[in-house]
Amino acid sequence: MQTIPIGPGFGAEVRGVSLLDAASSAEAFAYVEAAFEEHSILLFRGQEVTDTTQIAYSRGFGPLELGKVGSRSAGSFLGVISNIGDDGSLLPPEDNSWLVAAANQLWHTDSSFLARPAKASVLSARTVPATGGETEFCSTRLAWERLSPARQSELQDLTVEHAYFHSRDMIDPNLMTPEQRAAMPAVNWRMTWRNPKNDRRSLYIASHAGRIIGMPDAEAKALLDELRAHATAEGHTYLHQWRDGDVIMWDNRACMHRGRPWPADTGRKMVRTTIKATDADGLAEVRPPASFAAAAE
Ligand code: OGA
Ligand code: MN
């Protein structure tokens, strides 16, 4: 079992362990889990991944999240991100899947808008386009560590409002149904997330972060834009070009990611499982001070 670095200071390819090994051997799992906590992004190549293997692997890391209300994967552990219809044909440009793809192209972290956000996501490539369709990652842990101690102390305990509508409304105010709006009210989180396993802190920001409690909206927006630009600055990201059989697991507490465009006449299908954060993952500390906690529950 070994790890080979892939990104600028974060991310590693895992060799000599498959998803199935990690799902069936305690020793392989312990190796992969330690690598995940350290590198934030793990790449597995050449996997013969099935839905069952992906779920079995993901379950080892914690409880799985169900698909969102009103989405294609509602009620399932498997989130399908695809422009290919059930009959195998390409979905037309007006299909909602293209708006979903556009929203995924904003820098984000998965499910920060849920009352129980995601610790990790596991994404497997099922149909890969010949060009484009990459996924790009940055480390919000390294971004935090690049800030001066004075800046860190100003930011560390700010309370940030996250909502699915903050990111979706940037793409199209009609992207969310009234049912989805009602099901996903805004939640508040501290601006930083400390991982109790290694005592390292990350900026917890995303396209879903829209406001800062106690700060005028324009100032909050400028600060969030500045921090997102800082985290994703040139030279600090890893662009993954997908190959058949690739699986990537990322730490939503310590990274942001975004999808990249691909030609509209080409199919792309990815399947995601998502692992919920628990207090053992540092969630308790990310809850904001008591006066704001009501909104987060
Ligand atoms: C995701 C996601 C981007 C992509 O699965 O959470 O943002 O490139 N995917 O498909
Ligand atoms: Mn995502």
Which of 126, 135, 134, 47 is CA-nearest to residue 84? 126
Domain-wise residue ranges, the chain: 2-84+93-286
Burial of 37 (0-12, 13-18, 19+ CB in 10 A): middle
Please check the confidence at residue 297 and state whether its pLDDT lies above 50: no
Q: What is residue 138's three-state secondary structure?
A: strand
Whether 237 and 134 have beta carbons less than 8 Å apart is answered as no
Q: What is residue 224's three-state secondary structure?
A: helix
Architecture label for domain 2-84+93-286 = 4-Layer Sandwich (3.60)
Residue with tokens 């994703």: 232
| Segment (H or E) for 210 | strand 209-212
Q: Is the CB of 104 under 6 A from ligand 1?
A: yes
Q: What is the pLDDT of residues 11-34, one digit of tens each?
A: 999 999 999 999 999 999 999 999
Q: What is the pLDDT of residues 169-201, one digit of tens each?
A: 989 888 889 999 999 999 999 999 999 999 999
Please check the confidence at residue 292 and state whether its pLDDT lies above 80: no
Q: How far apart are alpha carbons 40 and 223 in whole angstroms?
A: 25
Q: Which ligand has the shortest distance to the CA of 260?
A: 1
Q: Is the CB of 135 under 6 A from ligand 1?
A: yes
Q: What pLDDT, on the 0 to 100 scale, is given for residue 296?
A: 46
Q: What pLDDT, on the 0 to 100 scale, is given for residue 95?
A: 87
Q: Quick one: pLDDT band at residue 291, thresholds 50, 70, 90?
A: low
Q: Is the CB of 110 under 6 A from ligand 1?
A: yes
- Range in 91-105, 223-237, 243-257, 269-283 the model is least confident about: 91-105
Q: What distance in angstroms lies between residue 229's CA and the mean position of ligand 2's atoms?
A: 18
CA distances from 162 to 94, 175, 185, 203 (A): 28, 17, 9, 13
> What is the average pLDDT value for the chain, to the nearest integer?
94
Q: What percent of the chain has pLDDT over 90?
A: 86
